């Protein structure tokens, strides 16, 4: 396939629009939300009005009729300025709405997608559990069908769930063990749990190192009853479903990581041009120039990597390995660029008033969320046929 990832005029127009929004609307306000650990409802509302939450979905469901490349472009531009708003969009689309679109019935799509696409509601993906982590097959949350009513009765807990406790959270799709396969292994299914369902409780927001203007919480399910029709996709196919969702989500996270990596370049170049030491701008020093060159190299290569994976997805080609490569490289590049940007800024890089301090705090989770770096290496090795 061609590796020409130059943008069409439509994609470039979208990119520029989101770039302007990020710099004109997000950048001036987000620092205050971040320091207060406050969810930026007004910014998210404007993102919804722009159609960002509906980018990759068909117009018949209230979407913009775009594609995954369009979503990635929006995520990258937002993350160049701030990762909290970027992860709110990423989780709302890739993890919240996409499972309903990929695996939902016609009725489920009609019920949920229009409000998810408009940003009126946010969706969340309840996968990770306190004792499972990367071993998602070890799910302990259970869902038992009440033969009398046909309802699912859910018990268990989830942790680190983004968008799960905001005032506009509409649903959480929950993975749960619904039986046993012939070989005795757990049969995992995915079930839609609307916000506010009795027995479904949401803990207070976590105190986090980064992403402080996004919503992340622990969830508990105590005899939560939902209709049998809330099963998402085929019973017992939940594990395969969320693996597909995570493969796609890694492209989105890679685009976000690329944005953070590029944002570190943007801020460091600006600082290197204006900060003087020993009578000249620090950018005149070769040591700083080399750091900036390496940072730009990492951001550029990350961009090529996630766009390659997105292009394969859109072409209907296998993309699992490319998504893992993109997620691994871009997340580690983001961490390195954030560290180098902080170093270039010196003492100011340790002050929260400077964006690079926020980027440094936000970068580390990119090597953990939606598959750790170790998991990505396992996936890549498996695709190479050596695992």
CA dihedral for 325, 163, 126, 59, sign (positive or negative): negative
Strand 122-126 to 169-180 pairing: parallel
**Gap between the Cα atoms of 364 and 368, Å rounded:** 7
CA dihedral for 354, 360, 366, 369, sign (positive or negative): negative
**Gap between the Cα atoms of 5 and 13, Å rounded:** 15
289's enclosing H/E stretch is helix 286-314
**Which of these, 220, 228, 215, 170, lies nearest to 198 by C-alpha position?**
220
**Gap between the Cα atoms of 385 and 387, Å rounded:** 6
370 is catalytic: yes
Q: Which is catalytic among the residues 12, 370, 374, 383?
A: 370
18's enclosing H/E stretch is helix 9-21
CA 62 to chain centre: 21
Other beta carbons within 10 Å of 387 = 10
**Which of these, 78, 255, 81, 242, lies nearest to 158 by C-alpha position?**
242
Catalytic positions are: 370
């Amino acid at each position: 396939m061609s590796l020409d990832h130059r943008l069409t005029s439509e994609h470039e127009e979208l990119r520029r629009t989101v770039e302007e929004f990020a710099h004109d609307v997000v950048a001036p306000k987000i620092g205050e939300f971040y320091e207060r650990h406050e969810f930026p409802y007004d910014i998210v509302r404007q993102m919804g009005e722009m159609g960002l939450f509906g980018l990759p979905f068909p117009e018949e469901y209230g979407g913009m009729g775009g594609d995954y490349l369009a979503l990635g472009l929006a995520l990258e531009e937002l993350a160049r300025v701030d990762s909290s708003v970027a992860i709110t969009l990423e989780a709302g689309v890739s993890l919240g709405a996409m499972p309903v679109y990929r695996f939902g019935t016609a009725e489920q799509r009609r019920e949920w997608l229009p409000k998810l696409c408009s940003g009126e509601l946010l969706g969340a993906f309840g996968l990770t559990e306190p004792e499972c982590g990367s071993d998602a097959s070890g799910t302990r949350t259970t869902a038992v069908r009440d033969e009398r009513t046909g309802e699912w009765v859910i018990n268990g807990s989830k942790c680190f769930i983004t968008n799960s406790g905001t005032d506009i959270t509409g649903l959480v799709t929950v993975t749960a063990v619904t039986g046993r396969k012939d070989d005795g292994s757990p049969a995992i299914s995915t079930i839609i749990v609307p916000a506010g369902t009795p027995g479904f409780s949401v803990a207070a927001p976590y105190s986090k190192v980064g992403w402080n203007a996004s919503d992340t919480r622990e969830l508990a399910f105590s005899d939560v009853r939902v209709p049998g029709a809330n099963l998402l996709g085929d019973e017992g196919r939940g594990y395969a479903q969320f693996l597909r969702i995570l493969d796609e989500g890694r492209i989105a996270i890679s685009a976000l990581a690329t944005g953070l990596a590029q944002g570190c370049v943007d801020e460091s170049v600006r600082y290197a041009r204006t900060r003087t030491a020993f009578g000249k701008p620090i950018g005149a020093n070769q040591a700083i120039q080399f750091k900036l060159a390496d940072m730009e190299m990492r951001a550029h290569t990350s961009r090529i990597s996630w766009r390659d994976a997105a292009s394969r997805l859109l072409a209907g080609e296998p993309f699992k390995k490319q998504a893992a490569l993109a997620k691994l490289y871009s997340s580690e590049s983001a961490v390195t660029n954030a560290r180098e940007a902080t170093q270039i800024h010196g003492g100011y890089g340790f002050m929260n008033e400077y964006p690079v301090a926020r980027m440094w705090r936000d970068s580390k989770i990119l090597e953990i969320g939606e598959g750790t770096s170790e998991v990505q290496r396992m996936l890549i090795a498996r695709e190479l046929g050596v695992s």
